Amino acid sequence: MNHAQLKEVGFPYPENVLLLIEGGSKLHGAKLEGKDDTDWYGLYVEPAEIALGLEEFQHFVYSTGGKPGGNGPQDVDLTLYGLRKWAGLACKGNPSVLHFFFAKPLFAHPLWSRIWEQRALFFARNHVEQFLGYAESQLKRLYNERSKDVNRPELEAAHGYDTKFAMHLIRLLGEAREFVENGTITLPRPNAGELIQIRLGKYELSELIAWAKRLQQEAAEAKERSPLPERVDKKAVSCLIAGVYQDFWNGQGNLAK
């Protein structure tokens, strides 16, 4: 994905992009070739008339998928967040947004370095609750207690449960523990091999539930001894992103690297 391709799919501000990463199962190291789509995520600076004016444009979503049974290997999903929207989600501890700090960029604007160097401003021990909440939603989907954004009946028929939801359950809980312990998320995941085995249905659902309970307990215990601050200093984050907006609009740091 490059600036020209962003323009082709209808994104109106390709030159305003600060960061592009490949997400999804590829980011975690659990992609199954010939099975998974390609997910792109990014961050951009809205033009001044959008950020300060009456018109809102906080994020851009594009997908070639949306078919029953989920996306196929030829499909592409793209999600781009405006800087202010993204910073707010990061301050809340949204796991997918926090990944931006730990993924290898496909493209990074020089002003992204300023944000990355001050990434600790976005970290807090109470973010672990967001990870646990997202993991709980995966668990409820496994038990059909929550509506699913994607239905994969072939997995349920083959294994008795949706193995992709199960993989994300274990992944999120592992990330929760690592993040709250060290303020890091290793990508791809150190247990990528295990995650692939989960996707392939090598575990009984009862084993996965017991595994998830252990990880949940470990994450809760790690929170108690976490070196991270209790909560994010939103004033400091506001100062940081306001400076990025101003410098971008003033044309500073406008050479990509």
Residues of the chain with CATH 3.30.460.10: 15-119+232-257
182-226 confidence digits (pLDDT tens): 999 999 999 999 999 999 999 999 999 999 999 999 999 999 999
Q: How far apart are CA 93 and CA 76, in angstroms?
A: 26
> Residue 2 has what pLDDT?
87
pLDDT at 142 over 70: yes
Is residue 69 very low, low, confident or very high in pLDDT (cuts 50, 70, 90)? low
**From the CB of residue 70, how many other CB atoms can be counted at a distance below 10 Å?**
20
Is residue 67 very low, low, confident or very high in pLDDT (cuts 50, 70, 90)? low
145-171 confidence digits (pLDDT tens): 777 667 788 999 999 999 999 999 999
Query: Which residues are CB-neighbours of 14 under 8 A, at least 6 positions away?
Result: 3, 4, 6, 7
> Residue 253 has what pLDDT?
52
Q: How far apart are CA 234 and CA 237, in angstroms?
A: 5
Residues 234, 256, 25: CA angle, nearest 5 degrees:
70
85-127 confidence digits (pLDDT tens): 999 999 999 999 999 999 999 999 999 999 999 999 999 999 9
> Residue 255 has what pLDDT?
42
Query: Which residues are CB-neighbours of 19 under 8 A, at least 6 positions away?
Result: 42, 43, 100, 105, 107, 108, 109, 112
Q: How far apart are CA 64 and CA 171, in angstroms?
A: 26
pLDDT at 228 over 80: yes
Average pLDDT over residues 58-71: 79
CATH fold label, 15-119+232-257: Beta Polymerase; domain 2 (3.30.460)
> Residue 137 has what pLDDT?
93
Average pLDDT over residues 235-240: 98
Nearest to 20 by CA among 92, 76, 65, 71: 76
CA 89, chain centre distance (Å): 10
Helices (H) and strands (E) in the chain, counts: 12, 5
Q: What is the pTM of this model?
A: 0.92
